[in-house]
Amino acid sequence: MTSPSNNSAPSETVISARDLRLTLGEGEAAVEILRGIDLDVAAGETLALLGPSGSGKSSLMSVLTGLERATSGKLTVAGEDFTALDEDALAQARRGRIGIVLQAFHLLPTMTAVENVATPLELAGIRGATERASEELEAVGLGHRLTHYPAQLSGGEQQRVAIARAIASRPPLIFADEPTGNLDTSTGSSVEDVLFRRREETGATLIIITHDRKLAERCDRVVTLGDGLIASDTAKS
Ligand SMILES: Nc1ncnc2c1ncn2[C@@H]1O[C@H](COP(=O)(O)OP(=O)(O)OP(=O)(O)O)[C@@H](O)[C@H]1O
Ligand SMILES: [Mg+2]
């Protein structure tokens, strides 16, 4: 089912999920949000995750990135058994390896744009964090907004800071939840270009949640969720 994005040697599997389930809430209020997901993603693959609102896309991303723990099932990400790691170990496993653009951007309100991007770099022990952060912000068209606080930025600008922050450490795995959802067409496509260019440069695996068919078509593979299950999984021929 997986399709390596190039036709050289078969790529290694970076994500392997078996019968992943996620139940949130307790007792009467319990909702089974992921109902048995099987998914293998090859290194370097670009994958679009589609599906109706409420189908479980963001929840699946939370589990695959270790932000949320699956209720049951088996999950290996970049060689780590995510079902066996505790919260601290998951955070450690993510650092510098998994770049995440959340649907709500989660910028730190007390930090400027450049500080939001530089801080995770510093935490990952990367030198020249501020310079790198400035370059990343320039790449998403925000060179003129470096010292603005999130509250002083538009929704689309905040989204671009979140993207710069996610990719600044050049992680081998990038997840983005509707990264162009708040952007006009031209800003959206230039931000897409930033993501795909970075993928080209680093060979990163790129998983993008989107409602945008055009963006999905740029990916090697399109996976559609429906009601907590994979409804279709199509690789580009
Ligand atoms: N903390 C929670 N407790 C209970 N149910 C939740 C919780 N978080 C999400 N859900 C439910 O899980 C389902 C899947 O949500 P999720 O955010 O993954 O959907 P999505 O596919 O990303 O939708 P959208 O396209 O609107 O972003 C929804 O029905 C949502 O109401
Ligand atoms: Mg969502």
Give pLDDT tens digits for 2-22: 444 444 455 799 999 999 999
CATH number of the domain bearing residue 175: 3.40.50.300
| Per-residue model confidence (pLDDT) at position 139 | 92
Low-confidence ranges of the chain (pLDDT < 50): 1-8
Which range of residues forms the domain containing residue 148? 44-67+95-235
Q: Which two tokens stand for residue 231?
A: 């409804």
Q: How buried is residue 139: exposed, middle or buried, by Cβ count under 10 Å (0-12/13-18/19+)? A: buried
**Which residues have CB under 8 Å from 123's CB, separation 6+?**
95
Ligand nearest to the CA of 63: 1
Q: Is the CB of 155 under 6 A from ligand 1?
A: no
In a domain, 2, yes or no: no
Mutate which of 59, 209, 211, 229 for ligand 1? The one with the most ligand atoms within 8 Å of its CB, which is 59
In a domain, 84, yes or no: no
Q: Is the CB of 198 under 6 A from ligand 1?
A: no
Ligand nearest to the CA of 64: 1
C-alpha angle with apex 22: 160 to 12, nearest 5 degrees?
A: 65
In a domain, 177, yes or no: yes
In a domain, 5, yes or no: no
- What is the number of domains present in the chain? 1
**H or E stretch covering 39:** strand 31-42
- C-alpha of residue 94 to centroid of ligand 2, in Å: 20
CB 48 within 8 Å of CB 221: yes
| Residue nearest ligand 1's atom 30 by CA | 54
In a domain, 57, yes or no: yes
In a domain, 109, yes or no: yes
Q: Is the CB of 224 under 6 A from ligand 1?
A: no
| Per-residue model confidence (pLDDT) at position 10 | 56
What gap in Å lies between CA 10 and CA 54, rounded to an integer? 34
Written as one letter, the residue type at 123 is L
Helices 155-167 and 129-139, packing angle to 10 deg: 130
CB 212 within 8 Å of CB 28: no
β-pairing, 205-209 with 46-50? parallel
**H or E stretch covering 81:** strand 80-81
- Ligand 1 atom, smallest distance to 228 CA: 14
| Per-residue model confidence (pLDDT) at position 95 | 86
Ligand nearest to the CA of 53: 1
In a domain, 8, yes or no: no
What gap in Å lies between CA 237 and CA 220, rounded to an integer? 8
Comparing CA positions, the residue from 7, 61, 54 lying closest to residue 179 is: 61
Q: Is the CB of 55 under 6 A from ligand 1?
A: yes
CB 176 within 8 Å of CB 145: no
In a domain, 88, yes or no: no
- C-alpha of residue 136 to centroid of ligand 1, in Å: 31
